[in-house]
Structure 1
């Protein structure tokens, strides 16, 4: 496996040198479609209107710079794109409301055009009559490529009491002020991010006492902490903020649960989110899984079993040391790791078979080690032959044949 690691490092080094020497000054609008990472992040928040005949609908989006199409213009890199948000009555084709934004992003450094930590964010806020709708948020590049998100939305006032969706946000200071809240559209939080909060609204016809119970759970639904507070509504719509701390929480997936009891009604709301390492690849969301993914490039596979028994801090230290050695000399502290886990994620999205994750399949292994094939030849069922695929890597002088067996494509061993 050491030879594979050397080849992998050499491959990435060559790619890096080629990209640095290239005069290419355009970035494709979506370079990694199908990688498991969305073209843009998006959320839709329903809340209460100014009276019982309407409701408020907020649509937010976040698109990272590595998803945009940039062009060289007057010594800078410019991306122009349009964003539209349309609302249709369910089953109809003409929107009842539609709004547009014309966006322009300008950066001076070429490397910023491929930076997933830089992003454009905006939102639409509409008041609509209660009813059933279909919404469409569309982002269209200058070249005409577009990506959209379609959702069905229903809102009725079933009674005089109610609770909105939950919104995850961060505050620039320890003082939580509605005017300074920054929505976290992707529901992904850097581990060193402080001042995190949950925002929601309560509907009541008069001032009433209510109880809020909230809890933080990990992806296995194990309780991390919980609390309970008693409060009183103020006016028709009460705006509520719950601040919580991420101290000592590990990277991974979490669920925040809020239960509100008011008079004889009980409302439950959940919001999932992910804690990630601030300075590492956005593709990693689980440390144990990220370590298991290294099986194709470690010198000794038994090492991984040993490392997985370490405590969290020891695992993280080993992981950082491993990639520190691999990335050494690449010119970018994370470029090899970024690409490796992009390939893992792509494999999970495109090659999973039943309960077997894509990175564990034969096609996933080849894709992770060798990257995208120069050509894929697909052969469907014929009278005497089952489906199979041929992956060709011309520059390497290699090809791999995958036969369809029991619901999966297996590498033909010759």
Structure 2
């Protein structure tokens, strides 16, 4: 099949990979918060003739991170994926390099606009065989035209499938084509808040005729369930179970888990296999994050996000956003507010909203102490004007309290912050004679 790659799990279901290009759907790629590429690794039982554990390795690279060259048949980019598989010892320290596979990709698109799209990706897959244990997978992706590289590390626990009945790792699915029995992995461990149902794939292993009880949970995690099936401080938000009779050595399952209005947060999809008398035989889980569709990854609480608009929105606008009784209603009005201020309507990204909440995030990281950084005087200036062109710091002086002067040359502004308490609580000095220091 031209332009695609199929990995056959068996004669019943294939994993469709890349591919000329798959639209990213509901998950936006945002420059400030999204990684340069996503990876996922899934442990599966090997074929009857195989040894060790089979690992399927997936990558997802945004087209916007590639350098495309104009060619007679459109635009072409090439990149190389390098992977170092490092075994960890019993103390969790790196012991030895066990494999170093390398694979190359060529991506072709028809138009220049395709090369700049934030919601288009190239996907790859590779299969490895490893002994059970703990590993670190070190990925490097190098653009062959620009020589620019991106790196990412992933801790991987390779499962042991020697037990009589076992379950594979859980794979999140982006889509499933029932006509061709083709599954599309959702390589990024992120799903949109309006994505329902949550679709997962897993395999059950055993002897034909084995009877088991399978429980599938969606868990809002404090602590994810352990090998004994305990969820600790986690909260189960959805659960179903079924009694099953295994019909083959390898039993593949695609399951839709209803997730209406799943709240933003960190979750795990947990598959637990028990004997009919209630003994836990195996358990597997996949952690993922639920994010608001079309919004930034670091906006994880709507009420906080609305409060953080205090520097730019009128009180009546904030009250209107928070007026609906349901979170979905409040979210709709929140989106409506920002859509009216989108400098590029009709596109995936809202650059104005991105920049504003990037500044809020930066202020929180930089200036939080007893209160959130965006609420401090320095945080307020960052949110309104961005990072300064220059900061003149005067931390130590016997006759003068510590102070900083922030300069914004492009807009002709400066701001003076004084630490009156000596505890790092810098307050904005507002001399009435100096208009360049006024916030409004």
| Fold match (TM-score > 0.5) | yes
1:42, distance to aligned residue in structure 2 (A): 2.0
Please point out which of 224, 227, 245 is paired with 2:258.
245
1:186, distance to aligned residue in structure 2 (A): 1.5
1:55, distance to aligned residue in structure 2 (A): 0.7
Cα distance in 2 for partners of 1:413, 1:203 equals 68
CA pair 208-393 structure 1, distance change in 2 beyond 3 A: same
CA contact (8 A) 1:276 1:282 kept: yes
Secondary structure at the residue paired with 1:367?
Answer: helix
The correspondence of residues 3-22 of structure 1 with structure 2, limited to 5 A, is none
Specify the alignment match of 1:16 in structure 2.
none
Specify the alignment match of 1:84 in structure 2.
82
Specify the alignment match of 2:6 in structure 1.
none
Count of equivalent residues: 377
Cα distance in 2 for partners of 1:272, 1:154 equals 13
Please point out which of 222, 245, 251 is paired with 1:232.
245
- State which drifts further: 43-52 or 117-126: 43-52
Cα distance in 1 for partners of 2:322, 2:312 equals 16
1:102, distance to aligned residue in structure 2 (A): 2.3
Specify the alignment match of 1:70 in structure 2.
67
1:192, distance to aligned residue in structure 2 (A): 5.5
Cα distance in 2 for partners of 1:376, 1:78 equals 43
Q: Unmatched 5+ residue regions in structure 1?
A: 1-30
1:193, distance to aligned residue in structure 2 (A): 4.6
- State which drifts further: 378-387 or 57-66: 378-387
Cα distance in 2 for partners of 1:408, 1:389 equals 11
Cα distance in 1 for partners of 2:76, 2:288 equals 32
CA pair 129-36 structure 1, distance change in 2 beyond 3 A: same
Please point out which of 156, 165, 182 is paired with 2:169.
165
The correspondence of residues 3-402 of structure 1 with structure 2, limited to 5 A, is 35-50=32-47, 53-66=51-64, 68-70=65-67, 73=70, 78-90=76-88, 95-107=97-109, 110=112, 112-142=114-144, 143-155=146-158, 157=160, 159-173=163-177, 175=178, 179-190=181-192, 193=195, 196-204=198-206, 207-218=209-220, 223-246=236-259, 248-250=260-262, 252-253=264-265, 255=267, 256-262=269-275, 264-276=279-291, 278=293, 284-300=299-315, 304=318, 307-310=321-324, 311-327=326-342, 334-348=350-364, 350-351=365-366, 353=368, 357-376=372-391, 391-400=406-415
CA contact (8 A) 2:220 2:237 kept: yes
CA contact (8 A) 1:387 1:403 kept: yes
1:366, distance to aligned residue in structure 2 (A): 2.9
CA contact (8 A) 2:134 2:158 kept: yes
CA pair 406-144 structure 1, distance change in 2 beyond 3 A: farther
Structure whose residues are more often helix by fraction? 1
RMSD: 4.1
Instruction: State TM-score, norm by structure 1.
Output: 0.73
